[in-house]
Amino acid sequence: MVKILLVEDDSITREILANILTAHQYQVSLASDGQMALELIEQFEYDLVILDIVIPKIDGISLCKQLRKQGYETPILLLTAKDKITEKIIGLEAGADDYVTKPFNLEELLARVNALLRRGKYLNPQEIIWENIHFDSVNARVTYGNQLLHLTPKEYWLLELFLLNPKRIFSRQAILDRLWDFAESPSEGTVSTHIKSLRQKLKAVGAKDPIETVYGLGYRLNSPSESCHCSLPTQSSALNIKDDAKQKAQTITSGIWEKFQTQYAEQASKLAQIITILSSTKSDLEVQHQAEEIAHKLAGALGIFGLVNASQQARKLELLLKQTVLDAMHIQQARELSKVIQQEISHWSLDHTKWVM
């Protein structure tokens, strides 16, 4: 099971990424600022850290430098809204292994996540077959014969744990430590409940129980009647990878857009109001910085939903608001950019969601 720490201060972007990663059977811990991320890293082991550069308390670059100085070797993937070579070089020199520029394509993000995991210590077989149970880590799915098993993330991780460690006995506490996040505060009975549910789902499709109860010690993988082996996906399976990933991402992203479209519209409206205030008063750097932050978040998030033009206009507006002094021409440009952003958000619907996986 892959454990990923996602450090992102924007709640909507954080939810999108967390849902996408969870749908691909990664276990995700969340942090909204650099200090929280540092505390989690000191307490728990992760296979990958996805780190936004612009976060409160400790920014992403500083956190990356600090971790590498302390000898932290886990791969770090930076999220940056700055599409400049110099900014990317700074991130890589700080110790990051790779970066993705916002607004990012989710297919590219997942590809980079997988590449970093392969490069790091986490490298598992793409497919494991045990007694006609096919565990496919590429598509994040489990089948018995031609039947797809609808497993929860925890059930999927449980099966993966036993298949990857066929001779090891795991106590309930050891399973909790590996598969549950500290914030969930589960009891050992939770493990028994999930194993029972996994067994029932396998039994329902006629599969042999892969989990042996070792009384007084815990659980381990049953010995198969035929050798368990690992193999690459078949050609037909490989052809379905992109379609499966696309469908998952589209479903998740559409649901989140429906949930947060009103909030984005409110942010765009607030941005327009602040620009109006700036046009009627003397230069107020605090108010101007507030508008810049809103534009920054919109630029990074809207592109994920396919609002490419709105994202680009928000980026232009963000750069414009970085000006120390805004003259009448700047204000007029800001108004026009803000108007375009508002119109695109209000007219966008789920049917128009065209970002591609």
Of 213 and 123, the one with more pLDDT: 213
Q: Is residue 229 part of a domain?
A: no
Nearest to 287 by CA among 298, 297, 276: 276
Please give the mean pLDDT across all residues of the chain.
85
* Residue 301 clears pLDDT 90, i.e. is over it: no
pLDDT of residue 244: 59
How far apart are the C-alpha atoms of 191 and 197, rounded to whole Å?
A: 10
pLDDT of residue 177: 83
Is residue 139 located within the same domain as residue 112? no
Neighbours of 215 (CB within 10 A): 5
Q: How confident is the model at residue 25 (pLDDT cuts 50, 70, 90)?
A: confident
Q: Is residue 237 part of a domain?
A: no
Cβ contact 221:212 at 8 Å: yes
Write down which residue in 90, 120, 150 finishes a domain. Answer: 120
Is residue 98 located within the same domain as residue 138? no
Give the domain extent around 201: 132-221
pLDDT of residue 245: 57
Is residue 215 located within the same domain as residue 139? yes
Tokens of residue 109, six digits? 């993000």
Is residue 7 located within the same domain as residue 116? yes
pLDDT of residue 235: 45
* Residue 333 clears pLDDT 50, i.e. is over it: yes
pLDDT of residue 324: 75
How far apart are the C-alpha atoms of 7 and 187, rounded to whole Å?
A: 27
Write down which residue in 120, 153, 170 finishes a domain. Answer: 120
Q: Is residue 69 part of a domain?
A: yes
What's the CATH code of the domain at 278?
Answer: 1.20.120.160
pLDDT in tens, 167-226: 899 999 999 888 887 667 788 899 999 999 999 999 999 999 999 999 989 999 998 775
Nearest to 66 by CA among 42, 94, 100: 94
Of 187 and 233, the one with more pLDDT: 187
Is residue 312 located within the same domain as residue 213? no
Cis preceding linkage at 103, omega within 30: yes
Q: Is residue 96 part of a domain?
A: yes
What proportion of the chain, given as a percentage, has pLDDT over 70?
87
pLDDT of residue 255: 80
The DSSP code for 182 is G
Contacts within 8 Å (CB) and 24+ apart, 63-68: 63/7, 63/34, 63/37, 63/38, 64/91, 64/94, 64/95, 64/96, 65/94, 65/95, 66/38, 67/38, 67/41, 67/95, 68/94, 68/95
Domain count, the chain: 3
What proportion of the chain, given as a percentage, has pLDDT over 90?
48
* Residue 233 clears pLDDT 80, i.e. is over it: no
Write down which residue in 96, 120, 144 finishes a domain. Answer: 120
Look at phi and psi of residue 8 and say left if phi exceeds 0, alpha if psi is from -120 to 50, else beta. Answer: beta
pLDDT of residue 124: 62
What's the CATH code of the domain at 168?
Answer: 1.10.10.10
Is residue 141 located within the same domain as residue 116? no
Is residue 8 located within the same domain as residue 102? yes
What's the CATH code of the domain at 99?
Answer: 3.40.50.2300
Is residue 288 located within the same domain as residue 207? no
pLDDT of residue 76: 96
Is residue 27 located within the same domain as residue 111? yes
Q: Following DSSP, what letter does each residue of 86-141 receive, concatenated?
A: HHHHHHHHTT-SEEEESSPPHHHHHHHHHHHHHHSS----SEEEETTEEEETTTTE
pLDDT of residue 256: 80
Q: Is residue 98 part of a domain?
A: yes
Q: How confident is the model at residue 242 (pLDDT cuts 50, 70, 90)?
A: low
Is residue 250 located within the same domain as residue 341? yes
pLDDT in tens, 254-294: 788 888 889 999 999 999 999 999 888 777 888 999 999 99
Q: How confident is the model at residue 122 (pLDDT cuts 50, 70, 90)?
A: low
Q: How confident is the model at residue 305 (pLDDT cuts 50, 70, 90)?
A: confident
pLDDT in tens, 48-88: 999 999 899 999 999 999 999 999 999 999 998 766 677 78
Residue with tokens 């700080």: 94
Q: Is residue 271 part of a domain?
A: yes
Phi, psi of 113 (to 5 degrees): -60, -50
What mean pLDDT is predicted for residues 296-312?
88
How far apart are the C-alpha atoms of 191 and 44, rounded to whole Å?
A: 20
* Residue 231 clears pLDDT 50, i.e. is over it: no
Of 64 and 15, the one with more pLDDT: 64
* Residue 142 clears pLDDT 70, i.e. is over it: yes
pLDDT in tens, 27-43: 899 999 999 999 999 99
Is residue 252 located within the same domain as residue 210? no
Q: Is residue 354 part of a domain?
A: no
Q: Is residue 15 part of a domain?
A: yes
Is residue 102 located within the same domain as residue 154? no
Cβ contact 320:274 at 8 Å: no
